[in-house]
Amino acid sequence: MYLGSYGYPDALKVKDSVASTVQARVEYVYDNSINPADNIWNGLRWKIYAEYFIPASKSSALRTKNITNIGFDARNYVKIYRNFIWALRGAGDFSFGDARLIYYLGGSDGDVFPKYNEANTADPSVNYAFQTLALNLRGFPQNAANGSNNLVLNSELRLPVFTTFFSSPINNAFVRNFQVIQFFDLGTAWSGSLSNIKRPSIIYRQRIGFTCTQLLAAFLQAVY
């Protein structure tokens, strides 16, 4: 885990160690959505989960320490016109216990060249055991904010251009799946109580994306 832009030269002299951890997870999923076209959904789906980490090796530094995570992910897809939809997503994860999971907020799923904000360090007073990403927050680098809790809101207008405005069948997959997507992301990550939530101290950006298929995508970015 990244605690700052300073190094620990003596750490290279320490021998490697292996620790095993058992993870138990319970998840409830509700799905009342349909998929009429590529990247187009209608309906509501959501899930909630809880997981518990149990140190399994005697040499583990987490021995006798418990780690518990709970979270949710809810998505609602509203039909506007034909296959033109408004996609809404709200998600959150919360870690607590003697040791915790740290969430690095920022970036998007499947970034080819992700950027990382090295200026934002983790709270050294919190005993973090594992790390992961909190997505999506497009226009921000990874670690725009970090902590043991996170909340993210995403809004997308997905417009399949040719299948929405033309009624005749389209055989070419590239043309048929071509979409224009306008998205807006809002999120935060913090440790401790809700009073510790604060705005990330980096420039806010708005991005406009154009998606052709699931395998081919191009993005144009505007910074304000």
- Write down the pLDDT at residue 180: 85
> Residue 46 above 90 pLDDT?
yes
Q: Is residue 101 assigned to a domain?
A: yes
pLDDT band at residue 220 using 50, 70 and 90 as cut-offs? very low
Q: Is the pLDDT of residue 102 over 60?
A: yes
What residues contact residue 204 under an 8 Å CB cut-off, 6+ apart? 139, 224
For residue 108, give the nearest of 47, 152, 46 by alpha carbon. Answer: 152
pLDDT given at position 26:
98
Is residue 36 one of the residues assigned to a domain? Answer: yes
Share of the chain above pLDDT 90, in %: 41
Residue 11 has pLDDT above 90, yes or no: no
Does residue 186 lie in a domain region? yes
Residue 6: inside a domain, yes or no?
no
Q: Would you state the pLDDT for residue 194?
A: 77
What is the CB-side half-sphere exposure of residue 3 using CA atoms within 13 A? 10
Domain containing 155: what range? 18-222
119 is a domain residue:
yes
Question: pLDDT digits over 149-204, tens only?
Answer: 999 999 999 999 899 999 888 888 888 888 888 888 889 999 987 777 776 555 44
Residue 125 to residues 31, 71, 128, Cα–Cα distance (Å): 40, 23, 9
Least confident of 30-39, 77-86, 172-181: 172-181
The whole-chain average pLDDT of the chain stands at 83
Which tens digit of pLDDT belongs to each residue from 19-32? 788 899 999 999 99
Q: Are strands 100-105 and 128-134 parallel, antiparallel or unpaired?
A: parallel
Residue 189 falls inside a structural domain: yes
Residue 3 lies in a domain: no
Between 177 and 142, residue with greater pLDDT: 142
Q: Is residue 188 part of a domain?
A: yes
Count of structural domains within the chain = 1
